[in-house]
Amino acid sequence: MKKTVLSLLTLVALLFTACDKIEEDQYIIYSGASGEWVDGNGVSDHTQRALIEKYTGVRCLNCPTAEDAINAAVAQYGGKLLAVAIHDSSTFTRPYPNNPDLRTATGNTWSKFFGVFDAGQYPVALVNRTPGASGWDLFNPISGINSYVDPIVNSEATIAIEVSATEAEGLISTTVNLEFLENVGDNLNLTLFIIEDNINATQLMPDSEKNESYIHNHLFREVITDVWGTQIDCTGAKGEKKMTTIDYQVANSEWIIANCHIVAFVSNRDTRQIVNVAECDIN
């Protein structure tokens, strides 16, 4: 009997010990913001857009060159290409002394999921989270951006998306309107996140010099919805119109709201691939 009791106690102890060590990328991360979906007003702009997510770092000497290429592409596509710069927890992203820390837990989660962190090669980019022949279609954005963007922005949109945002006393209220232009089904999520421009942080340059006056733009700050989005309450039938409003209390007083923007995208819940994306200022 004593041996049985001891065995049970040992088993319980082992279970608790096993549960005590959970790897970071196994955490279920939730930011808490989701809204109620109601009938929408429709969307007049049916533009198909693409989102380029650049994984970058202040200690990555080739990242400024990639940033220049992305900025040129954004200007070239005239609103059809949106950009975000994401800093994970790799060795390339460690902040220099007396500099802001641009890393985020969400950026790290995405980096690990899409295989960026494990590959360890920066800069690297992903357009609309498109899968490749094996894994994700990651590439070095220093060149060749057009070949990833053109097939997306030259296609007809299946979902039109419109986003607007206002802020009062640190509370950002974001309204998203969707119009289904084709039958796309109901397996969809909406993701909202904040980006900020005009952030001064020391950056390693291609000549191996440190630029203490470097300005970082479209920097990922925080996701508003769940990391992988909030479920869209819809049938996904052609002609359906849905809208929601999501509130978010700004988490960091150092953010300058006048320099911030909201990015909203609709994605497939299973594949993670982005269907369409929009961006707005915060008024």
Cβ within 8 Å of residue 174, ≥6 positions away: 163, 164, 165, 192, 224, 245, 246, 247, 248, 262, 264
Which pLDDT belongs to residue 156? Answer: 98
**Tokens standing for 94?**
């460690």
Asked if 202 and 58 count as a contact pair (C-beta separation under 8 A), the reply is: yes
Q: What would the DSSP string read from start to end of 99-133?
A: S-----HHHHHHHHHTTHHHHT-SSEEEETT-B-S
CA-to-CA dists, residue 19 to 13, 22, 121, 179, angstroms? 10, 7, 33, 44
Rounded Cα gap, residues 32 and 227, in angstroms: 10
Which amino acid is present at 38? V
- Kindly compute the dihedral angle of the four CA atoms of residues 227, 149, 243, 166, in this order, to the nearest 10 degrees: 80
What does the domain layout of the chain look like in residue ranges? 32-281
* pTM of the predicted protein model: 0.87
Which pLDDT belongs to residue 120? Answer: 86
283 residues of the chain, pLDDT tens digit each: 434 444 444 443 433 344 333 344 433 344 446 779 999 999 999 999 999 999 999 999 999 999 999 999 999 999 999 999 999 999 999 999 999 999 999 999 999 999 999 888 899 999 999 998 778 999 999 999 999 999 999 999 999 999 999 999 999 999 999 999 999 999 999 999 999 999 999 999 999 999 999 999 999 999 999 999 999 999 999 999 999 999 999 988 899 999 999 999 999 999 999 999 999 999 9
Q: What is the DSSP letter of 89?
A: S
Which pLDDT belongs to residue 251? Answer: 81
CATH class of 32-281: mainly beta
Asked if 158 and 232 count as a contact pair (C-beta separation under 8 A), the reply is: no
Which pLDDT belongs to residue 186? Answer: 96
Which amino acid is present at 243? M
Which amino acid is present at 251? A
Asked if 277 and 263 count as a contact pair (C-beta separation under 8 A), the reply is: yes
Query: What is the three-class DSSP state of 244?
Result: strand
Question: What are the backbone dihedrals phi and psi of residue 223, each rounded to the nearest 5 degrees, phi first?
Answer: -85, 140
Q: Is the peptide bond before 100 cis (omega within 30 degrees of 0)?
A: no
Which amino acid is present at 31? S
Question: What are the backbone dihedrals phi and psi of residue 54, each rounded to the nearest 5 degrees, phi first?
Answer: -105, 125
